[in-house]
Amino acid sequence: MFTRDRRTTGEAAFDLFNVIVMILLCAFMLYPVWYVLVNSLNDGNDAMRGGIYFWPRMFSLQSYRVVFEDHSILRAMWITVAKTVVGTVTHVFFTAMVAYAYSRKELIGRKLYMFLGTFTLFFSGGLIPYYLLIRDLHLLDHFLVYIIPALFSFFNLIIFLSFFREIPEGLEEAAKLDGANDLMIFIRIIIPVSMPVIATIALFTGVGQWNDYFTGVIFINEPSLQPVQTFLYRIVSESGSTQLQSGSINRTVTMQSIKLATMVITTLPIVIVYPFLQRYFVKGFMIGSIKG
């Protein structure tokens, strides 16, 4: 009995230790985000003095007002939203359609296609051939450069494929007896029963599209087509030389405070959405991991 009590006490102490460590790790990882938020909510000139760590010393929303009055930032935000929505929908539909074809046993050359697709996961042509390809496709300074190259991902195809293989074949056989072709089966049967994996891939793709700044840096020179992440990247990299279009900049706002406010604005939407959809990450990776 005493041994059992000591073991129970030891387990409770170990659990408490784990909880404390997890809280400290979470605080350590979240503090940089909190630091950016607090300084963005502080008066710009006052923040230049430093010493702001946990809460604003002189609360001010002037930096956010300047950001929202700047037409270039609003336009970049619209480009980001548009490419995220369009890119996510087209990627999910196209990748799911190809994965459904891969899941058919009667597909000729399926093993060869799987080998070629797997090969691309480990080897690529590099940035220069990719840039030349985009140039030859006339996608430079074009909105479709965000959409067409991102239509397909073999990694996401594997996740789709694992899920499609678990769908009972009786569903498709019953639909074929009713006269449905492969396209009708895919749209009316496969897609509705595949919503968990579709939500998983949509989350992967949406987060990637929202956070992507590299495409705008390499392939877009037209300011009107730059996403907000590229706009933020250029604000930070040019060290304050970027000229905003707002006429409301005054002595309470600095370029540093505007940078911080822009960072918060561009990060906030995905931070709000992610916790509600994060469970699909785990479910998506568990798809096909257990058989029988």
Q: Identify the burial level of 193 via C-beta atoms within 10 angstroms of its C-beta, where 0-12 means exposed, 13-18 middle and 19 or more buried.
A: middle
Angle CA(201)–CA(203)–CA(209) in degrees, nearest 5?
100
| Residue 50 neighbours by CB under 8 Å, 6+ apart | none
| Residue 36 neighbours by CB under 8 Å, 6+ apart | 260, 263, 264
* Cα–Cα dist 170/194, whole Å: 16
Dihedrals phi, psi of 55, to nearest 5 degrees: -155, 155
Report whether pLDDT(15) > 70: yes
User: What is the average per-residue pLDDT within 23-47?
Assistant: 82
179-223 pLDDT, tens per residue? 778 888 888 888 888 888 888 888 888 888 988 889 988 998 888
- Confidence at 145, pLDDT banded by 50, 70, 90: very high
pTM: 0.75
153-171 pLDDT, tens per residue? 898 898 888 888 887 877 7
The pLDDT value given to residue 248: 47
User: What is the average per-residue pLDDT within 133-141?
Assistant: 91
- Confidence at 2, pLDDT banded by 50, 70, 90: very low
Contact 244, 70 (CB under 8 A): yes
Which secondary structure element, helix H or strand E, spans residue 11, and what is its range? helix 2-40
